[in-house]
Amino acid sequence: MYAFGLITSIKSTITRVVDKCNGWLQSSGPLYYKGLYHLFYQYNPGSVVPGNKTWAHSVSADLVNWLRLESALDRTEPYDAKGCWSGSVTVLADGRPAILYTGADDVKNQAQCIAFPSNSSDPYLREWTKPSSNPVIRPDGPGLTPNQFRDPTTGWTGPDGQWRIAVGAELDGYSAALLYKSEDFVSWSRVDHPLYSSNSSTMWECPDFFAALPGNTSGLDLSAAIPNRAKHVLKMSLDSCDKYMVGVYDLEADKFVPDNVVDDRRLWLRIDYGNYYASKSFFDAKKGRRIIWGWANESDSSSDDAAKGWAGIQALPRTIWLDSDGSQLLQWPVEEVESLRRNETNHQGIELKKGDMFEIKGTDTLQADVEIEFEPGTMDEADAFDPSWLLNTEKHCREADASAPGGLGPFGLVVLASDDMEEHTAVHFRVYKSKHKHMILMCSDLRRSSLRSGLYTPAYGGFFEFDLEKEKKISLRTLVRPWVFFLLTHSYHSCVIIRQRCSNSHGSPVQIDRSAVESFGGGGRVCIMARVYPVALVDDRGAHMYAFNNGTTAVMVSQLKAWSMKRAQVNVKKG
Ligand X SMILES: OC[C@H]1O[C@@](CO)(OC[C@H]2O[C@H](O[C@]3(CO)O[C@H](CO)[C@@H](O)[C@@H]3O)[C@H](O)[C@@H](O)[C@@H]2O)[C@@H](O)[C@@H]1O
Residues near ligand X (CB under 6 A) are 26, 42, 50-51, 53, 83, 85-86, 102, 108, 150-151, 205-206, 277-278
Question: Per this entry, what is the length of the chain?
Answer: 575
- Give which of 521, 93, 115 is closest to 331, Cα–Cα: 521
Min dist. Cβ of residue 333 to ligand X (A)? 23
**Rounded to an integer, what distance in angstroms lies between the CA atom of residue 507 and that of residue 502?**
8
Min dist. Cβ of residue 167 to ligand X (A)? 11
Residue with the shortest CB distance to ligand X: 85
Q: Which is nearer to ligand X, 102 or 450 (CB)?
A: 102
Min dist. Cβ of residue 86 to ligand X (A)? 3
Min dist. Cβ of residue 54 to ligand X (A)? 10
Q: Which is nearer to ligand X, 150 or 448 (CB)?
A: 150
Q: Which is nearer to ligand X, 275 or 500 (CB)?
A: 275
Distances (CA, A) of 478 to 401, 412, 529: 19, 10, 10
Q: Which is nearer to ligand X, 49 or 225 (CB)?
A: 49
- Give which of 195, 170, 169 is closest to 180, Cα–Cα: 195
Q: Which is nearer to ligand X, 7 or 81 (CB)?
A: 81
Min dist. Cβ of residue 109 to ligand X (A)? 10
Q: What is the largest CA-CA distance in the chain?
A: 69
DSSP for 507-542? SPBPPP---EEEEEETTTTEEEEEE----TTTTS--
Q: 318-327 as b/e, with b when 16 or more CB fall inside 10 Å?
A: bbbbbbeebe
Min dist. Cβ of residue 41 to ligand X (A)? 10
Distances (CA, A) of 330 to 117, 219, 484, 521, 561: 34, 12, 22, 10, 21
Q: Which is nearer to ligand X, 26 or 418 (CB)?
A: 26
Q: Which is nearer to ligand X, 49 or 261 (CB)?
A: 49
Min dist. Cβ of residue 379 to ligand X (A)? 41
**Rounded to an integer, what distance in angstroms lies between the CA atom of residue 309 and that of residue 95?**
38
Min dist. Cβ of residue 240 to ligand X (A)? 8
Min dist. Cβ of residue 146 to ligand X (A)? 12
Q: Which is nearer to ligand X, 26 or 444 (CB)?
A: 26
Q: Quick check: 215 and 324 in contact, CB under 8 A?
A: yes
Strands (DSSP E) found in 221-380: 231-238, 241-250, 255-258, 269-270, 277-284, 289-296, 310-311, 313-314, 318-322, 329-333, 341-347, 350-352, 357-359, 368-376
- The CB density around residue 259, as the number of other CB atoms within 10 Å, is 11
Q: Which is nearer to ligand X, 237 or 550 (CB)?
A: 237
- Give which of 213, 220, 277 is closest to 243, Cα–Cα: 277
- DSSP class of residue 306 equals H
- Give which of 425, 423, 456, 448 is closest to 305, Cα–Cα: 456
Q: Which is nearer to ligand X, 19 or 151 (CB)?
A: 151
Min dist. Cβ of residue 206 to ligand X (A)? 6
Contacts of residue 23, Cβ cutoff 8 Å, sequence gap at least 6: 43, 44, 45, 46, 47, 48, 56, 310, 311, 489
Q: Which is nearer to ligand X, 83 or 482 (CB)?
A: 83
**Rounded to an integer, what distance in angstroms lies between the CA atom of residue 352 and that of residue 358?**
8
Min dist. Cβ of residue 381 to ligand X (A)? 43
Q: Which is nearer to ligand X, 114 or 426 (CB)?
A: 114
- Give which of 336, 318, 233 is closest to 276, Cα–Cα: 318
- Give which of 505, 541, 512 is closest to 13, Cα–Cα: 512
Distances (CA, A) of 277 to 79, 271, 292, 508, 528: 25, 9, 11, 33, 12
Min dist. Cβ of residue 25 to ligand X (A)? 10
Q: Which is nearer to ligand X, 26 or 500 (CB)?
A: 26
Min dist. Cβ of residue 83 to ligand X (A)? 5
